Structures are given as C-alpha cells and as structure tokens.
Chain A
Amino acid sequence: MLSLRGLTRRFGGLTAVDSIDLDLAKGELVSIIGPNGAGKTTLFNLVTGLDRPDAGTVRFEGQDITGLSPERLAGEGIARTFQLGRVFGNLSVMDNVLIGAHTRLRAVKPAVPVIGPLLELGLALLRPASVKAEEERLREEVRAILARFGERLLPRIDQPAYSLSYANRRRVEIARALALQPRLLLLDEPTAGMNPTETAEMQALVAELKAEGLTILLIEHKLEMVMRLSDRVIVMDEGRKIAEGPGEQVRTDPKVIEAYLGHGLSGAAEQESAA
C-alpha cells in the first residue's frame, strides 16, 4: 500500500532521513521507534507532503506521490496526527473534528480553478437542503467518533480546543484524523504526556482501529505498547534504518540496544520501557 524507496532528507550537513526503504501492506500496523532525533517525525513529514525529500520516492497504492502537497495527499486518504498536538485552538471540539472531514465535503470537490471555489462560496451562502443534510450527517458522524473516546470528549464537544487538557488535545487530533476516513493513518506519539490509564485507553483504541482493518504507521516511545500492537517494528537511528522485524526480534537486536544505550547513557531506553 505504502512503499518508500531510498527516501532521504538533509538539513544542511545533517542527514535527518537517510535512504529509508519501507513497505506497508494494507491492514498492517508498523511501528517506528528510535531515540529522539532519529528522524522519525521528519519521515512522517516526507510521507504526508509537509516536507519534500532530497532523494527517493514515496508510492501510495501504486501511485507515485513524492513531493505532492499535503492538501492533495489528504484528498488521497492519508491522515496524520502531530507530535506536539496541533489542534485548532479557537475552534470547538466539534469544529476541529469536522475539519477532518473537510476533503469529503461535496462543496469542495469541484477542482475547476476559479469556478470551483466560487461555487463553494455560493453553496456556503445559499446552503441548499443537500448541503444542510450533509453537514448534519457529518455532525452525527463526529459524535460517533467522539463516542469512541468514552466520556473524554463528548461533554466538551462545544468547548474551544485551547481549553482542553493536553491528553484531550491528542484525542481530538486522532478524532480529526478518523473523520477523514483515512486509508492510511500516521500516528506521531499518540500517548505522549499521557498517564498509564490514559495510555491503556489509547492502546485499546489503536488496537480497535487495527482490528477494523485500518493501515497504521505508528511512532511511539512506549515500547510495551509497540510490542503489543505492531506487526513489525522499524528502528531508526541518526536517520538510518538499523533494524526491522517482529517486535521480539528487534528488541534483542544488539544494534538496537547500542543505539539506545550508546547515545543516551542517561537511560532513554530504560526510561521509556519503564514508562
């Protein structure tokens, strides 16, 4: 479904992503782990079009999507969450998640230049019954998505996102990604800053999504969660892929242990596996 070949991105003298090959089959959940600064988030940026590679290709469903704009890729069904929780602060939870469904709106579909946008403006102002019905349907759908987070978000549905807790912002981000009805979902540290209970909830949700057949690429530091959920684990260090395989195999790989311990004698690995 997704296949990366020789993907490379340099920032000045630093090679943040260094000829990465990666294949992801439909319905698979692959995790990317590695010390901070290994290039995981940069890799996500390259796949989602927020950054362009210096070399290499990205193919999605057999189509070359290298260097396409993020808005095009969203239209192709690639959704992502952000490491630092980029919600729309002044929008309500409902509106945040509705933005996720933006690419599915009928009003935004016509790609004709000038006429398409003007039609969109006209539809927004006139709001015929079909537009109203679509909006209502999407609102129902958003409530259903929010219900997957139990009572975390539903009671706050009309609150602006800036008033939410950190963990709730992460949840809003995931809800927004689900509203896109993605074919490929990229989750960048969905449990960062969450306590063990919240992490367990998130893990259950990701497991559910996987069971529903969603294809997921996951960046995560909490190794226990990675081991439970992943079909395969990819370990990155200094931009390169240093190991790939089933969780248990990767965990005992001497190169992986060295990458974690050799760089951070402060004990990044222990801390994370303990967390």
Chain B
Amino acid sequence: MSSWLDYTINGLIVGNVYALVAVGLALIFGVSRLINFAQGSIYLVGAYIGWVAVVQLHTPLPLTIIVVAVAAAIVGLIIERFGLRPLQNSVRIAPLLATIGISFVLDQLVMLTFSPNPRALPSQLPDVRFQVGGGTIGPLDLLIAGVGLTSALLLFVFLRYSKLGWAVRAASQDRDAAMQMGVDVNRVNQAVFGIAAALGGVSGMLVGMYYNQIDTAMSLQATLKGVVAEVVGGAGNVPGAVIGSLLLGLVESYGVAVFGTSYRNLFAFLLLVVVLVLRPNGLFASARQAPPEPLTGTFIAPSRPVRIPRWALAVASAGFAVLPLFPVSFYVLQTLINAWLLGMLALSLTLVAGTIGQVSLGHAALLAIGAYTSALLSLALNVPVGLAVIGGGLMSAALGTLLISPSFRLRGHYVSIATLAIGEIVSLVILNWESVTRGPIGISGIPPLSLFGYDLISPTSIYWFSFAVMVVLALLQGRLLDSHLGRSFRAIRDDDVAARAYGLSLNRYKSLAFIFGGFAAGISGGIAAHLYSYINHETFNTQQSILALTVVILGGLGNVVGAMLGAVALVGLPEVFRIAAEYRILIYGIVLLLLVRFRPQGLLGTM
C-alpha cells in the first residue's frame, strides 16, 4: 500500500514538472495558435544553465533558480523577436517549421558546447526523506511542488490583475479584436514567450536535479511530454494544462509501477493518441466548439513552380545513370546512394506534408517499419531480398497509415505532434517487443541486396538499383499528382472545410496519401536495412525525419523533382565542403530557418 502512495507522490511531482512546460505551451498556443516545438530546447538550455550555475559558479539554490529563469526568458525573447515575429504575416506552415528549426539549432548548440555525454546536476538540498502516511517525501519533492504552486499563483495574479495580463487574455480570446482595441500584440507575444521560457527553463533544471542527470536527449522528450499534457488539458487552456500534466504524471507513474520503467513513454504517447481520438479538443473543452472559421491565407507559400522541361529531366537522369561508368570514387557513389535513399523518403514526405498538408515529424518510423519488415522477412522466412523490400514497403504503407489514422481529424500543428508521438511509439515498440524485434540488441546479419538471385554488392550495382527505384517511385508519384487524386489532395490541404463540402472525405484521401507515401518510405528503409546489414531501434531517428523535412522544404513542398534535388543538395553539399558530422544537424536546422524566412516556396516552388 505504501508503495502506491509513493507512486502517487512521484506522479504528482513529475506532473508538476510537466505542468511548468505545459503551461508555457498553453500560453503560447492561446495567443498565437502555435505549438512551440522549441519549448523542450529551452528546457534543455535551462538544465545546462542550471548546471553551469551550480557546478561552475556554486550559486546558492534561490539564486540558481533566478539565474535560470532569467536566462531562459532571454532565450525565449530572442526566439520570439528573431525567429517568429518576422513570420507574422507568413503562411501558416512557416511558424511551425520555424520552431522545429529553432529547436534543432538550440539542441545542437547545447550538444556542441557541452558534449552529448550526460552530466550530474546536484540539487544542493539535504538528502533526507520525511515520512508521510505510508510513503516518503524529500526536500526536492517539496521544492518542485513549491515552485509549481508559486508559479501557478504568480501566473494567475499576472493574468488576472496586471494590465499586460489582461492584454494576454484578450489576445488569446480574439486576437484581431484585441489588436483593434489597441492591444500591442508584439508586447503580448514577448510577455508570453518570456514567461513560457522562464517556466520551461526552471522546469528543466528541476528535472535535472530530480534525476541528478542531464543530457541533450531531454529536449525532445520534454516537448513531447509538455505537448501531451497540454493537449490532454485542451490546447490553450492554462488550468487544463496543469490538470493534464498531473494526470500525465500519474498515468506514467502507475504505468511504470505495473509494467516497468521502459514503458514510461509509451503510456504518455498512448494517452495522447487516446485523447486525440476521443476528445480532440482536450478533456475539458466544451463538448462541441463553434464550427471552424474560414481560414485566411494559405497553408503553404503560394508560388508558381519552376517548370523543368522533360528533356532536361531526362538528360539529368541519364547523366546520373551513366555516372558509375566514369572513373568516380567509391566515396562519390556512396554519397549519392545515401542521397537516393533520402530522396525516396523525401518523395514520401513531400506528398504527405506538401501535397496534402500533413506535416509529419515521425516519418523515420515509416523507414523503421520497412527496414524491420524487410530484414525479418529475409532472415526469418527466407523471403528473397527483392520481395522482402517490397514487403517492407507494403507493411509500411499499411501499418504506417493505420497508426497515423488517429491524426487524420487533426489540423496543422496537431498533426505534427501526433506523428511525432506515433514515431516515438514505433521506436518504443521496437525496443520492447523483444520476441520479434530482438529489442535493444537489434538485428544483425541482414543479407545484402539481391535481385533475381544475383547479389548486389558492388557500389556500382547498389547505386544503379537505388537510383532506379527512386526514379520509378518519382514517376509513379508524378502520375498520381496528375490524376484526380493530385487535385483532391491539394484541395484538402488548401481548405479542408470547402473540400468536405464538395464530397472529399478527409479520412479516405489522407489514408491514400499515407499509403502511397508509406510505400516509398518503407522501400527506402528496406533497402537501407540490407545495405547496413545491421539495424536497431535508433537507426531511424527523429533527426532523419527533420532532415527529410528540410529536404522537402528546400525542394519546394509537394514538388517531386524538388524532393530529389533537395536530397542531392543536402547530402552532397556537406560532403563537398567537408563539414564535420557533428555540425551537420546544426546546419540543416539553420538551412530550414533561413528557407522559412527567405524562400518559403523552396528552390523549385510549391505545387
């Protein structure tokens, strides 16, 4: 019985930490209808600033908290001023992509400054436990609870009684009306980002102290947990975010009590998916909301795509096809093989994110499904590799679509959250389903690529094979976009309400887009598995999803040729300039930010 009380206390404490993140997300969402994907990065920054203060500067605890809050708030203000304010009149997808880019840049900066190795963050508090009922509670628990309650109180007073707080509430109820009444929306945004960042930073520090460990992987987890809590409570609903956080903390804590630690995150994401399916407006939203208002502006940047003549494409393809006949190095071929594999993933993502407007952040999960299916088919069932790869594509199409289908009723940023969570679920299932996936050990000894009994081992043959597969997929996708499905997908992206009024079922067409896109991604993953000969649950990670997204934005959303061009550019250029591996992700993030700001339609234009 006593342990249950312990789990309850633990759940509430962890929930309190999530609340600090979730409240910030809710404030930002309330004012700007934006899910701030950089919130977890601020949390990470807060943890490391806390580490510098405690370990290097030896500041006392109250001062540490103040230093972290102020420094994090400054980061928040910088993000608002330079990352988001310039995009105010931009297309709806722009701020979403910007916060994703900012989050990657911040994470990488922290990683490059402090190295990815975990560090200990001592809490400076005496190590005693007090007996409460049947459980125990430590001073750090009390501190976390105290910080949580104090910030809730301060926030309440601010929103309720200060003039700026009124402005925040007014802007979150009706931004346009508030602006017309003279509310300075920029100041409101500053206030909200500053507060959210301060809370997020302190939260990161407290979590670091709670587990006495900080590392750079905290960021994504924090964003996800905060968003789960916020969505459970109802987006933009500040008290809802607090309750959602406590609920999430309890669910996780009890889940861990029953099933074990490795399932902690699985419960969080399952809770998210369940809430999204059953109560997409959160647990505390009124049963039905007003019908969606007509949206002004378009989702993607309108542009006239650059039309590349067919002969030019044919010449370029022929050029790449005969390339291995010339004396090129193994290194060049290897680089281009990577580009073709990324190109297939980008074809998939440009269809899903660009053509039908579902910005998926969990696309690497489709690679993983394809890779595991193909590897297991060839290893366990002795299926010929060529067929196994196709099996991987089909499995990715079917399972990926099935998994993502709960997000079909969501719009804009929610889709990104849901796909991110589904991607994490896939990775967790792979990790935990040991009887099939061999868990953390991974799968080794995957047979090499082969076609009709001939092994493709030489770089040249692998090059030709992957290039040919990509071209075939691209041609198929081009044909799809030319059909009535192409215009149906794009209509749904541009205005889903009008599309429904003309008979387009969102479920049906989003499914078809994910089936087609899932197939391409699954093929890419399948080929990769046979190429690498070893895969595990971390082979296909969020970094690859973000890289694919950057490729797609670079080429132009929905643009088939752009996806392939973007893949060659983003894989090739770092090689040409010999950029060290650890700086690449940083550069991808910066490229994404610059594109969103200065050329949102990408190189070849959106379709």
Contacts and interface: CB of A to CB of B under 8 A. Distances in A.
A147 interface: no
Contacts of B502: 74, 79, 99-100, 102-103, 176, 180
A254 to B, nearest CB: 33
Contacts of A257: none
Given A51-B291, A70-B500, A90-B494, A107 B484 contact: yes
Nearest to B290: A11
Given A70-B500, A71-B504, A86-B294, A124 B304 contact: no
Given A82-B294, A91-B490, A120-B512, A71 B484 contact: no
B291 A91 contact: no
Interface in A131-149: 131, 135
Majority DSSP secondary structure for residues of B touching A: helix
B503 A75 contact: yes
A147 B468 CA distance: 45
B503 A160 contact: no
Given A74-B501, A117-B508, A86 B495 contact: yes
Interface stretch (B12-20, B50-58, B475-483, B576-584): B475-483
A161 B304 CA distance: 12
B498 A86 contact: yes
A121 B503 CA distance: 17
A88 B503 contact: no
B589 to A, nearest CB: 27
A105 interface: yes
B512 A91 contact: no
Interface in B29-88: none
B498 A89 contact: no
A180 B501 CA distance: 11
Contacts of B511: 117
Interface in A93-123: 95-96, 98-100, 102-103, 105, 107-108, 117-118, 120-121
Given A90-B490, A160-B302, A80 B501 contact: yes
Contact of A71 (B476, B505, B606): B505
Contacts of A180: 502-503
Contact of B484 (A50, A79, A82, A105): A105
A45 B500 CA distance: 12
Contacts of B302: 89-90, 160, 162
A118 B515 CA distance: 9
A81 to B, nearest CB: 9
Nearest to A41: B291
Contacts of A71: 500, 503-505
B372 interface: no
Nearest to B494: A88
A120 B511 CA distance: 12
Interface in B496-535: 497-505, 508, 511-512, 515-516
Contact of B500 (A69, A83, A127): A69
A129 interface: no
Nearest to A173: B498
A195 B300 CA distance: 31
Nearest to B289: A11
Contacts of B485: 120-121, 124
Most buried by A among B480, B484, B516: B484
Nearest to A179: B502
B376 interface: no
B396 interface: no
Contacts, number: 115
B407 interface: no
B488 A70 contact: no
B288 interface: yes
Contact of B498 (A12, A88, A162): A88
Contacts of A121: 480, 485, 512, 515-516
B494 A89 contact: yes
Nearest to B515: A121
A117 B490 CA distance: 17
Contacts of A168: none
Contacts of A8: none
A84 interface: yes
Contacts of A82: 294, 498, 501
A74 B479 CA distance: 27
B503 A52 contact: no
B81 to A, nearest CB: 29
Contacts of B479: 124-125, 127
B298 interface: yes
B487 interface: yes
Contacts of A74: 500-503
A19 interface: no
Contacts of A103: 502-503
B491 interface: yes
Interface string A216-243: 0000000000000000000000000000
A45 B505 CA distance: 17
Given A74-B501, A88-B490, A102 B484 contact: yes
Given A50-B500, A70-B500, A91 B494 contact: yes
A88 B286 CA distance: 31
B294 A90 contact: no
Interface of A: 11-12, 45, 48, 50-52, 69-71, 74-75, 79-80, 82-84, 86-91, 95-96, 98-100, 102-103, 105, 107-108, 117-118, 120-121, 124-125, 127, 131, 135, 160, 162, 176, 180
Interface of B: 286, 288, 290-291, 294, 298, 300, 302, 304, 476, 479-480, 483-485, 487-488, 490-491, 493-495, 497-505, 508, 511-512, 515-516, 606-607
27 contacts: A48-B501, A69-B500, A74-B500, A74-B502, A86-B294, A87-B495, A87-B498, A88-B494, A89-B494, A90-B493, A90-B607, A91-B491, A95-B490, A96-B491, A99-B488, A99-B499, A100-B502, A103-B502, A108-B484, A108-B503, A121-B480, A121-B485, A124-B479, A124-B480, A124-B484, A127-B483, A176-B502
Given A70-B500, A87-B495, A103-B503, 13 more contacts: A50-B497, A52-B288, A69-B500, A71-B500, A74-B501, A88-B491, A90-B302, A99-B488, A99-B491, A102-B488, A124-B480, A176-B502, A180-B503
